[in-house]
Amino acid sequence: MTGHSEHVLPIELLPDSAEVGSDGQLLIGGCDLADLAEQYGTPLFVYDEDQLRSRCREAVDAFGDGVAYATKAFLCRAMARLAHEEGMHLDVASGGELHVALSAGVPAERIVLHGNNKSDDELNRARSAGVGRIVVDSFDELDRLERLHAADGVVPKVLLRITPGVEAHTHEFVMTGQDDSKFGFGLNVGDAARAVERAQASPAVELVGLHAHIGSQVFVAGFFEQAVEALAPFVNECGLPELSIGGGIGVAYVEGEQAPSITEWGSVVRRAVEAAGITARVSAEPGRSIAAAAAVTVYRVGTVKEVPGIRTFVACDGGFIDNPRPALYGSGYETFLPRAITAPRTETVRLVGKHCESGDILVAEARVPEGLVVGDLIATPVTGAYGRSMGSNYNLLPRPAVVFVSGGRARLVIRRETDEDLLATDVG
């Protein structure tokens, strides 16, 4: 693409296949966003399917066999199949995610089960399906696995989740590697060593490795180096064949942010692993870095309210049920008008949703071109991870549809919810 000035939407935040159409409108995967909005309605998640595939391949190249897509970032059967087809394993963190991955046809041995409080039912479903790995998080879980084993004799391969005592600088809600964490066996308090001893002696599990996940939206690959260094003496002492360093590499959400690529993250980890003399097979579990930047969310503007001298509120037909990240973490996003992708964004408005809450803000300082009117489409890039998957049905707004686009064609992978869906579980 050429002809963009500095003030235009930062094109690197758009999906790889983004291009400007003959009328100055945005195309993704060769599809005009306005046509997609017309056909599938709004709000609408539009994923660049080729980008999802290329990020999965990049992860496999960077980490090799065993690298898993963290499905909590975004999951549906099409996504599960896509990640599987591109050679990734799937990391699931609940019985529900396990169910979707299995129903997509992903072989159980390519699935890894996580969770800090897995139920008997979740453990049993995973064990009887024959998942590849269960990442054991606590002594209570070891108790539970032993009880279940006594009943059926099934022996799953497990990793132990270790909390390395590394504070990756990210939002405290997504920081998970510090000693004060609900996750895993603390390295510094000696729980990690006790857990290894216990798992090795237990007939209920086959201990094959260790796991650590230091957090999410981590911008500095060096924190992974610190985690590897912190873990190395213990990993080497245990001499287990596998080590997963979890997920967590960050992505850029707003102009000017810089994040390492999956490839760069992989090389930093590989160098640290070599320097520390770790011989275990090292893998990872990226979620956000696979899915986030592949999607944009398209909304329709319904109301524009100017408060003189204060600000202009632009209300769209979605809200924090399709993207809770701004409300949860104060996250920023960019905005653009799909009909005028190259227009300089000279005005600042507040993009809000339609929920009965003042905290229902999608973009607090949204830059838009002049001339935005009711009926316009407005879109936010980098919404492919932890948006729809973290969403809710608050105000009983039906959840948006999801389309995958590629080579000029769109396919619906999750249809929009209907009012009937809202009654599907209501048995009163």
Ligand X SMILES: *Cc1c(COP(=O)(O)O)cnc(C)c1O
Site map (CB under 6 A) of ligand X, residues 276-315, x = contact: ---------xxxxx--------------------------
Number of residues that bind ligand X (CB under 6 A): 15
- Mark whether 356 is an active-site residue: yes
Cβ atoms < 10 Å from Cβ of 420? 8
Question: Residue 369 or residue 391: which is nearer to ligand X going by CB?
Answer: 391
Closest CB to ligand X among residues 48, 97: 97
Is residue 324 involved in binding ligand X (CB under 6 A)? Answer: no
**Span from 7-15, 70-78, 102-110, 414-422 in contact with ligand X (CB under 6 A):** 70-78
SS (H, E, C) the chain: CCCCCCCCCCHHHCCCCCEECCCCCEEECCEEHHHHHHHHCCCEEEEEHHHHHHHHHHHHHHHCCCCEEEHHHCCCHHHHHHHHHCCCEEEECCHHHHHHHHHCCCCHHHEEECCCCCCHHHHHHHHHHCCCEEEECCHHHHHHHHHHHHHHCCCCEEEEEEECCCCCCCCHHHECCCCCCCCCEECCCCHHHHHHHHHHHCCCCEEEEEECCCECCECCCHHHHHHHHHHHHHHHHHCCCEEECCCCECCCCCCCCCCCCHHHHHHHHHHHHHHCCCCCEEECCCCHHHHHHHEEEEEEEEEEEEECCCEEEEEECCCCCCCCHHHHHCCCCCCECHHHCCCCCCEEEEEECCCCCCCCEEEEEEEECCCCCCCCEEEEECCCCCCHHHCCCHHHCCCCEEEEEECCEEEEEECCCCHHHHHCCCCC
Indicate whether 384 belongs to the interface with ligand X (CB under 6 A): no
The minimum distance between CB 217 and ligand X, in angstroms, equals 6
Which of 55, 72, 198, 345 touches ligand X by CB under 6 A? 72
Which strand ranges, in their side-by-side order, compose the sheet holding 26-28?
Answer: 19-20, 26-28, 31-32
Q: How far is the CB of 73 from ligand X (least distance, A)?
A: 5
The yes or no reply on residue 319 touching ligand X (CB under 6 A) is no
Q: Which is nearer to ligand X, 265 or 404 (CB)?
A: 265
Please say which residue, 213 or 350, places its beta carbon nearer to ligand X: 213
Using CB under 6 A as the binding rule, the residues of this chain from 101 to 130 that contact ligand X are 114
29 binds ligand X (CB under 6 A): no
95 binds ligand X (CB under 6 A): no
Considering the complex, what minimum distance in angstroms separates the CB of residue 101 from ligand X? Answer: 15
Q: To the nearest whole angstrom, how small is the minimum distance from the Cβ of residue 321 to ligand X?
A: 20
Q: Does 73 bind ligand X (CB under 6 A)?
A: yes
In the range 222-261, which residues lie near ligand X by CB under 6 A?
246-248
Nearest approach, Cβ of 280 to ligand X (angstroms)? 17
Active-site residue, from 31, 56, 316, 356 = 356
- Residue choice 17, 25, 163, 216 for contact with ligand X (CB under 6 A): 216
Q: Quote the least distance from Cβ 307 to ligand X, whole Å.
A: 37
Q: Which of 213, 325, 339, 345 binds ligand X (CB under 6 A)?
A: 213
Q: Which residue numbers are catalytic?
A: 356
Chain positions contacting ligand X, by CB under 6 A: 70, 72-73, 91, 114, 213, 216, 246-248, 285-289
